[in-house]
Structure 1
């Protein structure tokens, strides 16, 4: 499947789910992010044929309905992280998505949960603004179309802070690992 075909199918899938909205993406300069840990729940998925939209939506539903954030020990704060890692090759192949919280330690990972250390690395930061989750999806479309980004495909992540819940003025930060 070509990148354009994939992007078209993903866009249609999100539009059918009534996620259409006005949004914008701001890109900042590259930066180094220091090592941190996340505990959460995960799924292995692929962007092929829009599968990731289905799998990741199910993961979010599980996160909220099972109150996963309340079950995570050693949490640093209440910011929610969606981590995209363990890429087979690039965004067209299989990868793992983890939804969880930053933690001070990976000791005592609850059964059925996973823990990951995001190593210190260079990242490009994007800020999605507008109605969620459409604004984040539009940011990912921009990232996937950007041939000059020089992605490392180590661990990418979004941070869903309190601004995420601000209706049409919501914000989410997306960090893409890049080669130094």
Structure 2
């Protein structure tokens, strides 16, 4: 499926899956996003869906990459201090749906399946979308979009 280019503004961290680093870094980023109410500080939002973007891959999912937690926005003209803006270019994506209890690793478990699949990934920008169905933590659905070649 093709997804057209869009912009996102949010907070970010450079991390890696090596030595379980991302398992510490990404929840810490979520904690900051929620406790500092970052969503209320993002200008020109196109919706209140939360995007978790994985981008700027050094090589593939075994090497460092950047995680951005934020919202889709109309433009990148006004990026608040301490935040980052990123344009996600047109690309073809494979869609996965993580279903289950978010507090028990439903999204991570879906990623393990993706990492172990033979999907021809592009390693440009992958992302998760936390919309209405993600609000019920114990019975959630999160869309995961993987850029493919």
TM-score past 0.5 threshold: yes
Kindly state the Cα deviation for residue 118 of structure 1 after the two structures are TM-superposed.
Answer: 0.5
Structure 2 Cα separation of the partners of residues 109 and 142 of structure 1: 35
* Equivalent position of 1:58 in the other structure: 28
Structure 1 Cα separation of the partners of residues 44 and 107 of structure 2: 28
Kindly state the Cα deviation for residue 82 of structure 1 after the two structures are TM-superposed.
Answer: 0.2
Structure 1 Cα separation of the partners of residues 136 and 42 of structure 2: 25
Kindly state the Cα deviation for residue 167 of structure 1 after the two structures are TM-superposed.
Answer: 3.6
Q: TM-score, normalised by structure 1?
A: 0.81
Question: Residues 40 and 167 from structure 1, CA distance in 2 versus in 1: closer, same or farther, beyond 3 angstroms?
Answer: closer
1:155 aligns with 2:125: yes
* Equivalent position of 2:109 in the other structure: 138
* Equivalent position of 2:50 in the other structure: 80
Regions of 4+ moved over 6 Å: none
Structure 1 Cα separation of the partners of residues 19 and 91 of structure 2: 31
* Equivalent position of 1:22 in the other structure: none
* Equivalent position of 2:40 in the other structure: 70
SS at match of 1:83: strand
Larger radius of gyration: 1
Structure 2 Cα separation of the partners of residues 56 and 135 of structure 1: 15
Structure 1 Cα separation of the partners of residues 71 and 95 of structure 2: 19
Q: Which runs of 5+ in 1 are unaligned?
A: 1-30
* Equivalent position of 1:94 in the other structure: 64
Structure 2 Cα separation of the partners of residues 68 and 143 of structure 1: 29
**What are the superposed Cα offsets for residues 40-63 of structure 1, whole Å, 9 maximum, x if unpaired?**
000000000000010111100100
Q: CA RMSD in A?
A: 0.8
